[in-house]
Structure 1
Amino acid sequence: MSDLLPRVESVLKTTPARWLTLTQTLPHDLLKRRPLPDEWSALECLLHVVDTERLLYPVRVKAILKGEKFPAFSPDEQGTKLTEDTSPVALAREFEALRTESLKLLKTLKSEDLSKEGVHGELGPVTMANLLNTWAGHDLMHLRQAEEALLQPFIDGCGPWLVYFESHRIATT
């Protein structure tokens, strides 16, 4: 567990640049394209990680340091909604600024903080180590989800190579 802090930091440091690259390079319509009506687009994934960076992870780190309870979060009910004028690049830059502040907070943590506990509103007692693993995993999970959404319109055009993409196709049933 002693390598948890640098491992988490390494993941959290890479995520803003990855979102910036995607939003500065890919066409807006591809970023907004949902793979299925009830699945998030890449842009919705980015909006969600902005919400969690603003409302969840730093707040939860501080709550656990104090041994406090913190509420659960429902992205569908409490999350920000995309609008037609949402700028992907501006959103990625907002995420980058928020993450810079979060990394400063992360740098204040010590290995003895990893066993400190707080109480999640739905899940009950959680440790700082649990939260930090979740934070890094959450970043990677939503990057993967975004990339899966971006991949979908290309799969059907693969012709004979389709066999190599079947495990990446988002099921329609």
Structure 2
Amino acid sequence: MSSTTSTQVEIKAGFGRTLIVGAVAGVIGSLVMAMFAMMAAATYQHTGFFTPLYHIGSLLLDPSTMMASMEQGMAGSNFYFVFGPAVVGALIHMMVGAMYGVLFAVIVRMAKLRGMMLLLAGMIYGAVVFAVSAWVGLPLAATIFSAGDPITNMASMVGYPTFLVEHIMFGVATAFALLPFTRNRSA
């Protein structure tokens, strides 16, 4: 095998690893984001701990579980739980997190970000993901899946400040998960 071909194989293998590492980092970021969203929903929003999962799940499912959870939360019962819609919401959230994680890992690799610059980039990336999600991704997904207002208006329903903080936490957690892989430049 020539040295050029060997280098091309190494680059492709490195890029493939970047995609996998990015997906895993994005799932980790989505889990951190979800935990904050769920704590916010159970505390100062008074809408119920599992409501964020049902809200996301309403992309594919009837929003009645989300509404029931919100009603229970407002009545003081924070832990209304329905397995199916919770799992659907969690899976959708982690899949979207994986997608955004892959994109971020590619950016990190191309820009050769490391250390504090990587974490700062994660914070900025989270803010960008917030804007893209709130004003493009969610309305588009609502149209494609005929999901209506719960998805179209998710950012305003959650509250823009909380939605922004959730996404910044996603970006920072994703960046933090990528840190070990940037030391030897494989992500």
TM-score under structure 2 normalisation? 0.26
Greater helix content: 2
Greater strand content: 1
TM-score under structure 1 normalisation? 0.28
